[in-house]
Amino acid sequence: MVVVAGLAVATPSDHFTLAWTHSVEKVEWREDWRVDSGRLRLHQASVMGSGAGMEPPLEAVLRGGRWVWHPDMVMEEIVLARSDFTDDWRLCVDGHCRDLPKEKGQTRLRACP
C-alpha cells in the first residue's frame, strides 16, 4: 500500500510506476518503484530521449526506443513537485494508470505499513 497526498492507496501489488512528461523536451519519463521493508525502492527508470537536464546515465541501455537503467535507490518518501507547464503525474499499477490528485505545491508518497 502507498500513501499519496495523505490518502492510502491500496494496490494489488508492491510495484508501481510514476510517469510524467518533461516540461521542456515533452517526452515521457518513467520510474518503476517497489515497496520494500516499509520503504520505497527505485528499481528502474526510463526516458524516451535526452536533453534539457535529463540525460540518461552512462549505464543506460536503449531498449524499445527508451533509455533504461537501474538506479536501485531507496527512499522513505517521494516528493513530487507540481508544474503549471506540464501534464500531472500519473500513478500506474499493473498497467492501469491514473492522474494523481491535483494539489498545489508538492505531493508526497510513502509506503504504508
Q: Residue 28: what pLDDT?
A: 84
Q: Which residue has the higher pLDDT, 24 or 47?
A: 47
pLDDT classification of 49: cutoffs 50, 70, 90: confident
Residue 32 clears pLDDT 90, i.e. is over it: yes
Residues 45 and 43: their CA atoms lie apart, in Å, by: 7
Asked which of 1-10, 37-46, 56-65, 80-89 is least confident by mean pLDDT, the reply is 1-10
CA distances from 52 to 11, 24, 47 (A): 34, 7, 13
Q: Residue 85: what pLDDT?
A: 64
Q: Residue 4: what pLDDT?
A: 54
pTM reported for the whole predicted model: 0.81
Residues 110 and 70: their CA atoms lie apart, in Å, by: 20
Residue 34 clears pLDDT 80, i.e. is over it: yes
